[in-house]
Amino acid sequence: MAVPVTTAPRTIDSPVTSLARVKPLDARRLAKLGIESVRDLLLTLPFDWELYGAPKRVAELRDGESATVVGTVAGSAAQITTRKRVRLTKATLRDDAGDLLRLVWFNQPYLARNLPPGMRLAVAGRVKGVNEGFEMLNPHHESLASVDGSAGPRRIGGLMPKYHLVAGLSSKRMAEFVEEAMPMAEQLEDVLPAETRLRMGLLGVVEAVRLGHKPRTEADWQLARKRMAFAELFELQAAFALIRRQLALEPATPIPYRQDVIDAFKAGVGFELTRAQRRATWDAFQDMQRTAPMNRLLNGDVGSGKTAVAAACVAMAHAAGLQSVVMAPTEILARQHLGKFRGYLEASFPGLTVELLVSSQGAVERRRVRTAAASGHCALVVGTHALIEEEVEFAQLGLAVVDEQHRFGTRQREQLRGKGSGRPHFLAMTATPIPRTLALALYGEMSVSVLDELPPGRTPVTTRVVAKHDRASAYELVRQQVRLGRQAFVICPLIEESELLEVRSATAELERLRKDVFPDLKLDLVHGRMRDKDAVMQRFVNREIDVLVATAVVEVGVDVPNATVMMVEGAERFGLAQLHQFRGRVGRGADKSYCLLLTDDETPYVMERLDLVQRTPDGFTLANEDMHRRGVGELMGARQHGMSDAAMDALLKPELLSLARDEAEALLQSDPDLSRHPALARAVVRRLEVTSIS
């Protein structure tokens, strides 16, 4: 039977396989980079360029420079080196003046076959002077059709693009795909309104895409990149503005502010709120008085006292006759929250009952809690995922709080908010200090309160960078602290390629420490692949373990006041902000605590970064540094939020972001449903599909 063939006309939204050069395997590789349609391909500019300049003669070359040379292949051969058995391809290129350039490629044995003598070839790479002559290692290459050399190289020389890649793709292949797709760039609609573009002096999208993939000069490239980055931030901000508007239309029950409630709360909480806590509490109270639901992110360093802020909101909701729910990522955290909320609230608010809901409870207990929630009898339920997995219903839900919000998906947060009849006010908490620009860019649909101050009386954690030869002193400190009755964490190096490898190396590390270093201490292991992480953590809390070895993926977000040493192996592999997170796991009690950053890499770059952690106790300062040093993409997994490098780099200049935000706001004022800006409307919809906007 004949299969009906539908040949839909190829458009910019056709899959990349509609390009002749993109084979199904290539398409799968491109998909890993988030490139599915021709449009995606065109909009994904190179992240950087190599500058080789116009072709030069061999006689003009200088040692160490990057250059392009055009000539004729004089000979080529594949070889295997005798000692290290590396496969090499060697070739000789003769330029039109007759001078020779040696070419060497590693691990591309097939190449020799593709470089027959007499072929016209352009190469671009770094020049190395070797006895009398010159050599290029792993140069880019392109065969030239015309034998007389009149046609210059089309794809190499000048500026060579660098695209983000996955195994099996090269920047050259990418450039070939883009070249085939380029005629369709005409079809790209501009998401930027003409007025905005003119006012800001930005290129149109078609020109930006052309120049971005094939600039003639560095300036072209910068212009293209600036335009693409701005358009992206603008799209995102338009998406956020749209969500904010939609949220504002959903009715929430206002929670009136009552001075007597806050007075009672302050009296019962047992400490003086910090200035930052008061500010954040006030922000939240203002939001909750409105008929539109609060949508606020509480961003505070570890130990800054976010729970107390949430508790004040719970008290206010309770006074208005509304219930609250708090969701935490692990059972231990939920239990710790239960203790804190009860401690903060139950004495001052006798009618305010707090219940726990986690999956390890018996069926009878869980049913009792569900009934208490559904009847409106309990004011606050604290729990884990069980809250959304089980059919918990609330009689009058007024406030939903999510702790460590990045540990939950958009859908889970949404499910929690759907637990009542109307739309509850929403407070998300995170202990990852996020620089303000990044918060605006990633969570622009939320308002943000920052707790940038720790409660008084904390002893700062002593941070020390420990070099290879000093390892014994680190172990000695652990031993000494355990002797004093304290406990220690050992974090194993991050292995990004595979969690399984990471687990293996952590297991090996545990065995090594048990056998060679601490045979007399109680050691155990916790990792991300373990089913019962909570049970191990609980035994650590109960002091049944002296030294807890953990993989990097495990977030040990638990209060263990008795732990006083945090030892991080392979510290150079972590971001500054991550190191700070680890450090936050100690120093939670009254005792002096230590954070030891171990590294075998003593290069100045590494030492300088680690030294910065050692000198900087503040998480926001470090996060900012991290953002500037490693680039925004590494922080907060911004790349997973579907942002391009250009847009992320643009975040380093906050002015551009606020401009994008202002322009987007103004546009939505005049065109609230974007009906007069269809291209932008479509882009916003696409963006909402790929980003984790909550």
Binding residues vs ligand ADP (CB under 6 A)? 271-274, 277, 300, 302-308, 431, 455
Q: Which is nearer to ligand ADP, 296 or 306 (CB)?
A: 306
Query: E strands, 220-266, where?
Result: none
DSSP 134-201: EEEES-EEEE-S-TTS-SPPSSSSEEEEE----TT--HHHHHHHHHHHGGGGGGPPP-S-HHHHHHHT
Rg (CA), the chain: 30
**How far is residue 170's CA from residue 511's CA, in Å, rounded to a whole number?**
41
Burial of 654 (0-12, 13-18, 19+ CB in 10 A): middle
CB of 564 to ligand ADP, least distance (A): 16
CB of 559 to ligand ADP, least distance (A): 6
Q: Which is nearer to ligand ADP, 105 or 341 (CB)?
A: 341
Q: Which is nearer to ligand ADP, 71 or 300 (CB)?
A: 300
Dihedral sign, Cα of residue 465, residue 469, residue 471, residue 477 = negative
CB of 336 to ligand ADP, least distance (A): 8
CB of 309 to ligand ADP, least distance (A): 8
**How far is residue 513's CA from residue 509's CA, in Å, rounded to a whole number?**
6
CB of 108 to ligand ADP, least distance (A): 52
CB of 562 to ligand ADP, least distance (A): 13
CB of 558 to ligand ADP, least distance (A): 10
Q: Which is nearer to ligand ADP, 15 or 303 (CB)?
A: 303
Q: Which is nearer to ligand ADP, 152 or 561 (CB)?
A: 561
Contact 568, 574 (CB under 8 A): yes
Q: Which is nearer to ligand ADP, 305 or 575 (CB)?
A: 305
Q: Which is nearer to ligand ADP, 276 or 322 (CB)?
A: 276
CB of 429 to ligand ADP, least distance (A): 7
In whole angstroms, how far apart are CA 409 and each of 250, 432, 440, 578, 693? 22, 16, 19, 20, 10
Contact 125, 136 (CB under 8 A): yes
Q: Which is nearer to ligand ADP, 192 or 586 (CB)?
A: 586
DSSP 643-678: --HHHHHHTTSHHHHHHHHHHHHHHHHH-TT-TT-H
Q: Which is nearer to ligand ADP, 318 or 588 (CB)?
A: 588
Q: Which is nearer to ligand ADP, 337 or 641 (CB)?
A: 337
CB of 316 to ligand ADP, least distance (A): 17
**How far is residue 139's CA from residue 629's CA, in Å, rounded to a whole number?**
29
Contact 619, 584 (CB under 8 A): yes
End-to-end CA distance of the chain: 48
Q: Residues, the chain, total?
A: 694
**How far is residue 490's CA from residue 54's CA, in Å, rounded to a whole number?**
54
CB of 387 to ligand ADP, least distance (A): 19
Which of 121, 117, 33 lies closest to 74, judged by CA?
117
Q: Which residue is nearest to ligand ADP (CB)?
A: 305
